[in-house]
Amino acid sequence: MSTYKFGTKAIHSGVDPDPTTGAIMTPIYQTSTYVQEEIGSHKGYQYSRIQNPTRTALEKSLATVENGKYASCLGSGMAATDLVMRMLKPGDEVIAINGLYGGSYRIFKTVYEPLGIKFHFDPMVELDSIAQRINANTRLLWLETPTNPLLQIIDLQAICSLAKKHGIMVAVDNTFASPYLQNPLDLGADIVMHSVTKYLAGHSDVIMGALITNSEEIAEEIQRLRTTTGAVPGPQDCFLVLRGIKTLHLRMRQHCINAKAIAEYLNAHPKVEKVNWPGLPDHPNHEVAKKQMRDFGGMLSFSLVGDRMEDAKTILNNCKLFCLAESLGGVESLSSHPATMSHAALPKEERLKTGIVDSLIRLSVGVEDAEDLLKDLDNALSKI
Ligand SMILES: *Cc1c(COP(=O)(O)O)cnc(C)c1O
């Protein structure tokens, strides 16, 4: 499969005609257990916490699109992050990007820090600053790019090579980019984590996570931990994601085209203060984005002239196609207000310091017709 281009891989990998009937679609093996012919003789499947054929097909597909050898699906993105943390032991230290996904911050600070793991947060922009935080106990770098909700881009290749020099494992949360736009394993990462819930599933109907790696040792440890702790997704959800991945390339192309049209429109709008989208030539990390991503993605955020929370509310209330909701990456366009939603727990001063201003609006641009999306925003902006 590795010699094929992305769309071909997305459609064909992991999917073989079913051996019993020839069904072209992988069946939903809704079973907990498998009958063994005799003691010590089975067909590779014993119990669905350990393996399930629908899940195996999806894992092959995920490994292929992420240019990895091994993939493991988990019950949610957070279960995937949790599994990586379980590889650490008390006394170990982690350097994580600041401005990472709120749920990741929460699990680090409220679950793993009390267990004796130390977390440092760094913007991951200056290599010297990262290097200064490294010591003999540093085990893991936790990265995320583009970041949420400001769409900053960090240089994965440069950071991975620094980590390699010090023998530190690198995990990248690749949810925002999706494997269509960016493959961190190719840039030197050891583990790619996905909230499959988002672009990979793509239709806002599944919660799932995944970990992908090229290291046999890491893959075995993931498999051992998952079998032991049990956060596996069900076969029906695996089927839905297998189906979702078949159109990942088509969806992502349209997400990118639509986001570009909206970013350019907003960038020229007199009521808009600032647009954060890595595809804009004046984005501070545009060159890094061009180097490590195939396109610039469907996520963007923008702030308003005057920075009034009331104006942001007016816009969000007047959008008809952009639905106000957490989450992202589905075919339908969504809007959110980070200051009162995803980042409400941050003290106002902290929030403003990180650039999450009162009027900031985040959009997950869907695959509707761009003209309709532009009209929707234009109408909402006319109300302020
Ligand atoms: C949604 C999300 C997660 C968590 O995934 P769940 O599937 O909701 O558990 C982690 N990282 C990022 C970047 C996300 O957007």
Domain end point (choices 220, 245, 270):
245
- Per-residue model confidence as pLDDT tens digits over 73-121: 999 999 999 999 999 999 999 999 988 898 999 999 999 999 999 999 9
Clarify whether 351 is annotated catalytic.
no
Helices (H), 208-308: 216-229, 235-245, 248-267, 286-292
Q: Are residues 99 and 238 in the same domain?
A: yes
Choice from 76, 82, 84, 101 to test ligand 1 binding pocket (greatest atom count within 8 A of CB) = 101
The catalytic residue among 45, 49, 265, 294 is: 49
Distance CA 61, CA 12 (A): 8
Distance CA 228, CA 246 (A): 31
Q: Are residues 208 and 320 in the same domain?
A: no
The catalytic residue among 82, 155, 173, 376 is: 173
| Sequence letter at residue 207 | I
Clarify whether 86 is annotated catalytic.
no
- Which residues constitute the domain of residue 42? 6-245
* Residue closest by Cα to atom 2 of ligand 1: 195
How many whole angstroms from 205 Cα to the centroid of ligand 1? 14
* Residue closest by Cα to atom 9 of ligand 1: 77
Residue 243, token pair as written in the block: 């189906």
CATH number at residue 32: 3.40.640.10
Distance CA 166, CA 286 (A): 28
Q: How many domains does the chain have?
A: 2
CB-based pocket (< 6 A), ligand 1: 76-78, 101, 103-104, 144, 148, 173, 175-176, 195, 197-198, 207, 209
Clarify whether 199 is annotated catalytic.
no
Choice from 175, 237, 328 to test ligand 1 binding pocket (greatest atom count within 8 A of CB) = 175
Q: What is the pLDDT of residue 229?
A: 98
Domain end point (choices 225, 245, 265):
245
Distance CA 104, CA 146 (A): 15
Q: Are residues 231 and 357 in the same domain?
A: no
| pLDDT by residue, tens only, the chain of 384 residues | 778 999 999 999 988 899 889 999 999 999 999 999 999 899 999 999 999 999 999 999 999 999 999 999 999 999 999 999 999 999 999 999 988 898 999 999 999 999 999 999 999 999 999 999 999 999 999 999 999 999 999 999 999 999 999 999 999 999 999 999 999 999 999 999 999 999 999 999 999 999 999 999 999 999 999 999 999 999 999 999 999 999 999 999 999 999 999 999 999 999 999 999 999 999 999 999 999 999 999 999 999 999 999 999 999 999 999 999 999 999 999 999 999 998 887 788 988 988 999 999 999 999 999 999 999 999 999 999
Clarify whether 198 is annotated catalytic.
yes
- Determine, yes or no, domain membership for 1: no
Q: Are residues 96 and 175 in the same domain?
A: yes
Q: What are phi and psi of 267, to 5 degrees?
A: -60, -30
